[in-house]
Amino acid sequence: MDCATVEVPLEYSEPGGEQISLSVKRHRATDPDQRIGSLFFNPGGPGVPATEMVGIIDPDSATSPFSADVQARFDIIGMDPRGVGESGAVRCLTDEQRTEAAADDLDPTIPGGKPLPELEADATTYTEGCLKHQSKEFLASLSTDNVARDIDQIRAALGEEKITYYGMSYGTVVGPMYATLFPDRVRQMVIDAPVDTDLWHNDPLALLDDVSRSNEQTLDTWLETCRSEGTKVCPFGDGEPEAALDELIAQLEAAPLEVPPTEGLTPGGRLDGAVALEAVRAGAGVESLWPTLTSGLLAAQRGDGTLLHFLVTNVTVAPFGGPFAVLQEPHTGVRCADWQTPTEIDAHTDMATTVAERDTRLGGRAGYSALNCALWPAPNEDRFTEPLTGAGAPPVLVVGGRVDNVSPYHWAEKMVETMENSVLLTREGVGHTSYRRGVECIDTAVDATLINGDLPADGTVCEPPPATTKPAGPKGS
């Protein structure tokens, strides 16, 4: 590993003006004689520190972000985008305020979890706090077009004429932005679990509506699978998992469980209906966690909330990836710099009401989730708003999951329509992102694209191993 700090302009319209520091980490190619070049990696969020993800690269680990073949051929570069991780992570709340926010007693039957006046007061405290911790100019500079320009500064500093790029989730906004601004500097590009970049920049409420719908559909997939597998495989609900889930959530909301700390599993805490729903959302979105989710629900029925609390503590992700409690403030800072968010509260209320009525179990979490951006104190007056077409770049591989609770499949289809000369690779089944998730067909295609520029045929479909809701242990223990 090599670590570095790179100075870049706060505003590229003033290249000689104020500079900011970006943190960069490099994992050198394990076979230097076969080295192709530098592969830039953005793991999403926005807000996930790329340097941390590069730090866990291991050629001998099945959970490494990249295959051994890719690690052999590339220096893998992780840059913490401005406002993220070690590149001046956005801070909007004090430690005390963070603790209070984490302990909020949310009502799962109300959009946003609280009455609107309380949500507005929280958003005011939050956004005012952002200006107390960093300048308005810095907050306004966090947009993805600046992140793409930052990547190009690092490309130049490394002495590379072109870069290879792999981005997942929000990283699929960064990649197309780079390919659009600097098409002649792209060698190969793979974007995994794409975001609809038009909605991202121009209609964030519609984007959040899509995410909510995908969350609900993903949970429905788990419920349908549990029911279809039968009670011998999935005993939760005795054949009626929907009714059992609704009853359990109401029970936990009325009488929350206290979860004691368990070393290596959960720090402990309170499991009420709202927290349990978040655990259900997280577990349903990862097929490999379906047995854990079933076990957790069965255990909660018996008065043991440990496994559901584990899912909340260790798996819960913010929209577009990343542990929510750690990444919320950088996540908010980046999206508020990018989004054209309506400032009229009525628009947010209309969206929250529509989503909650349609997505009856999980829709409440989407309500008012863009409220901080509606009150954002640092408007970005010169953000890039043109379509991200990547015109002039080499063919791009777009990887979409058929059931993705964060990036719905039609976003992948839209990405192929928007990005010129791109190819769609589809993964069946449930999950957010597809590469290095145990689907050999996907891994082979991504590696071939990154290493040799050999893209699969457009429309190729890959089947994952069969998923099951069977509990992880006897009687759901």
Give residue 102's pLDDT. Answer: 80
Count helices and strands in the chain by DSSP H and E runs: 18, 11
Domain-located, residue 23: yes
Q: DSSP labels for 94-156?
A: -HHHHHHHHT----TTSGGGS-HHHHHHHHHHHHHHHHHHS-HHHHHT-SHHHHHHHHHHHHH
CA dihedral 78, 83, 84, 90 (to 10 degrees): 170
Give residue 268's pLDDT. Answer: 85
Give residue 58's pLDDT. Answer: 85
Domain-located, residue 29: yes
Cβ–Cβ < 8 Å for 44, 169: yes
Domain-located, residue 94: no
CA angle 286, 365, 202 (to 5 degrees): 95
- Which residue carries 């792999």 as its tokens? 166
pLDDT (tens digit, 0 to 9) for every residue of the chain, 477 residues total?
999 999 999 999 999 999 999 999 999 999 999 999 999 999 998 999 999 999 888 878 888 899 999 999 999 999 999 999 999 999 999 989 988 888 889 999 999 999 999 999 999 999 999 999 999 999 999 999 999 999 999 999 999 999 999 999 999 999 999 999 999 999 999 999 999 999 999 999 999 999 999 999 999 999 999 999 999 999 999 999 999 999 999 999 999 999 999 887 878 899 999 999 999 999 999 999 999 999 999 999 999 999 999 998 877 644 444 334 457 899 999 999 999 999 999 999 999 999 999 999 999 989 899 999 999 999 999 999 899 999 999 999 999 999 999 999 999 999 999 999 999 999 999 999 999 999 999 999 999 999 999 999 999 999 999 999 999 765 444
Domain-located, residue 401: yes
Bridge-based pairing state of the strands 186-192 and 2-9? unpaired
CA angle 64, 429, 438 (to 5 degrees): 25
106: left (phi over 0), alpha (psi -120 to 50) or beta: beta
Cβ–Cβ < 8 Å for 374, 341: yes
List the end-to-end C-alpha distance of the chain, in Å, as a whole number.
41
Q: What's the full length of the chain, in residues?
A: 477
pTM for this structure? 0.95
Domain-located, residue 42: yes
- Token pair recorded at residue 327: 């990444």
Q: In what order do the strands lie in the sheet with 19-27?
A: 2-9, 19-27, 74-79, 37-42, 163-168, 186-192, 396-403, 422-430, 460-462
Domain-located, residue 65: yes
Domain-located, residue 468: no
Contact partners, residue 405, CB within 8 Å, separation at least 6: 211, 214, 215, 217, 218, 219, 281, 284, 285, 430, 432
Other C-beta atoms lying within 10 Å of the C-beta of residue 3: 12
Give the closest residue to 295 by CA, choosing from 283, 285, 286: 283
Tell me, what CATH number does 399's domain have? Answer: 3.40.50.1820
Domain count, the chain: 1
* Range of the structural domain that residue 175 is part of: 2-87+142-200+390-462
Domain-located, residue 118: no
Cβ–Cβ < 8 Å for 250, 244: no
